[in-house]
Amino acid sequence: MNGPFSLTAAAGPRAAAPALPQGLGTFLFMATTLFLWISLNPFVDLTGEAVLDPSAGRSDRLNQIVLLSITASLLGWGLLHPMRGAILQPRALLAVLFAWFLAVSLISAHPMLGIKGIVLAVLTMANACIYLLLPSSERHFARMIGIAMLVMLAISYYGIVFKPTLSIHQASELREPMNAGLWRGHFPHKNSAAAAMALAIFFGLYVLRAWSAAAGLVIVVLAAFFLAHTGGKTSTAMVPFILVLAFVFEKVRWLRIPIAVGGVAAFNFLAVGSAVWTAFGRFIADLGIDATFTNRTDIWRFAFDAISERPLTGHGFRGFWQTEDLVYSGSTVETWAAAAANGHNSYLDIALTTGIPGLAMTLCWLIVLPLRDVARMAPAEETSPLTRLFVRIWLFSLFNAGLESLFFEGGSFVWFTLVAALCGLRLQSRATLVTEAPQGARMEAAAHA
């Protein structure tokens, strides 16, 4: 086999390439998944003063070595794979997108931050695309992702039982003591843990259908129980919402554009609009809806003011939040939002750092093209468990991005998973899924004409 997908159309005869061993693919898949979802430094102590330093924790030699090793291995696999042409598609749009990111970064106050961020973003996206080429079949993919989720959940619950001070938020934490008592497991924050458990539920439902009903059920139950204890209101409410929304998206074709485009636009207008326009915020509050969204309103107002200063080019990719000239500029006297880690809204952050053109191209890639990919699928692929998994991840990420910053975040398991889902939707519309590999087979590098 040449991976879980084999090309249904390609120019020329079968491509000759070295055979890729299934065992190596398994190792790389598990190493990548566990590195992203568990990291080399789980159970972070949030009571130390270092957590207040914006530059703290950004550089770790061992972490960098492992990341570079995994990246080099994945790139090597991708270059040898017959479906290497599927990596980083559509390349024309992405080339223009990142060229714009680079241009606005070079004229910003922090060009090196932008350049480093762009390199990391491109590598992360390439890795996510190659990630789907590692399994030998769909069942192999389901088995590996199921085992990885069980390992992740085991470590999270291990922390709750044996390392509660490092797995449950404490009142002694310097940054957010109000989170005391909420579970975070081996993740650095309850919101990260909540997003992880939400995605784990989607993976569990897929594993239940594609590999093992017992393993899938265990993943869903453990992840749902953990999610309920994180206090992550957004992720907790979004899981049933996305399950229903994805069902409607799958069954009612004419509602797909309203859901993906109108739904995301309406959600962002409700969230950010209530913060920026006072009258609208009062109207939403009168309806009994929490228009503050956990006190994000100050951040969004501050971000909108910054966008109005440079609406076309933005402040440079990675060139605004947590930069020293912003954190120590004295703006915190006017509003605490100047010290925020990010804008807590991915769409707002892209407009803030890369301008309106950057946002428009990002939306085209993240929303318009996946809609086209789903529309091009054969009826059997539209309703398959794998497509259902990708659509759930995609919709969850699009709506979650209205309250969290995740677009182009190198090292983020949520962003990595979203990019993998986007690549998966594209492959589902253009390739044939391999259901099972022969016992003991090696992965032949052959793309079918």
Instruction: Tell me the per-residue pLDDT of 409-419, one tens digit each, with 9 for 90 and over.
Output: 888 999 999 99
Least confident of 50-54, 197-201, 236-240, 376-380: 50-54
Q: How many CA atoms lie within 13 A of 103 on its CB side?
A: 11
**pLDDT number for residue 336:** 61
Q: What is the pLDDT of residue 449?
A: 23
pLDDT over 60 (residue 223): yes
Residues of the chain with pLDDT > 90, as a percent, come to: 60
Average pLDDT over residues 421-425: 96
DSSP-derived pairing of the beta strands 431-433 and 5-7 = antiparallel
**In the predicted model, is pLDDT for residue 448 greater than 50?**
no
Q: What is the mean pLDDT of the chain?
A: 85
Provide the pLDDT for residue 47.
80
Nearest of 447, 436, 440, 435 to residue 23 by alpha carbon: 440
Q: pLDDT value at position 436?
A: 61
Q: What is the mean pLDDT of residues 88-93?
A: 93
For residue 46 the two structure tokens come to: 């949030």
Question: What pLDDT, on the 0 to 100 scale, is given for residue 184?
Answer: 96
Which residue type is seen at 58? R
Which of residues 279 and 257 earns the better pLDDT score? 257
218 has pLDDT over 70: yes
Q: Give residue 340's pLDDT.
A: 73
